[in-house]
Amino acid sequence: MTIIFKSKAMLFASLFIVLLVMTACGGGGSADEVVVGVGADTPEEAVQGFLEAAFSGDRTRAATFVCNAQRELMRGMYADMNAAFTALEEFEVDLSELNYTIVSEEATDATVAVIGDIVIRVAGSEEERRINLDERFKAVKLKKEDELWRVC
């Protein structure tokens, strides 16, 4: 299947979002900044909160939804991506078509499947691109830490 992009901007946004989805995390601020995990009451809310924060460009908040063991590693992966996150501001990222389903849940471990499409649009344009997450996010692992769920 060949995908034709009408603009370089849409190509850039698609590649950036695929990269963000594949790494499934965000960081922000300086590498020395301490970010305390917040998490969520349910596994689905943790994944949704993480994705909403990451795609809105709030890397610091996104990092709060990541488990303690992975937070600094993932933040480090994005330490040099400030320009890319700034460029993301030129796009509208719509997560409303995503569904979050618990695949398994135990006392401290859970797996959530994210099904559906992320829709991206160049701000002020009708051009859109859909990125399906069914395969990429079919098994998002989570840990329960301090009574809250976090992506791990």
Give the pLDDT of residue 20.
58
97 with 117: CB under 8 angstroms? yes
Helix (H, G, I), strand (E, B) or coil at 52: helix
- Token reading at 68: 């303690």
Query: Which has more pLDDT, 4 or 39?
Result: 39
Pairing of strands 140-145, 148-151: antiparallel
115 with 97: CB under 8 angstroms? no
| Closest listed residue to residue 117, CA positions, set 54, 63, 51, 29 | 51
Examine the pLDDT at 14 and tell me if it is beyond 60.
no
129 with 5: CB under 8 angstroms? yes
Give the pLDDT of residue 27.
37
Helix (H, G, I), strand (E, B) or coil at 132: strand
Q: What is the mean pLDDT of residues 46-51?
A: 94
Lowest mean pLDDT among 11-15, 63-67, 144-148: 11-15
Q: What is the pLDDT of residues 84-122, one digit of tens each?
A: 677 777 888 899 999 999 999 999 999 999 999 999 888
Q: What is the pLDDT of residues 143-152, one digit of tens each?
A: 999 999 999 9
| Closest listed residue to residue 52, CA positions, set 82, 74, 77, 20 | 20
pTM: 0.76
Query: Which has more pLDDT, 97 or 54?
Result: 97
Give the pLDDT of residue 16.
57
The burial of 80, by beta-carbon neighbours within 10 Å (0-12 exposed, 13-18 middle, 19 or more buried), is given as: exposed
- CA 74 to each of CA 69, 115, 125, 142: distance values in angstroms, whole numbers, following the listed order: 10, 23, 32, 15
Query: Which has more pLDDT, 79 or 42?
Result: 42
Catalogue all structural domains in the chain, each as residue range(s) with its CATH number. 8-151 (3.10.450.50)
Give the pLDDT of residue 99.
98
- Above pLDDT 90, what percent of the chain? 38
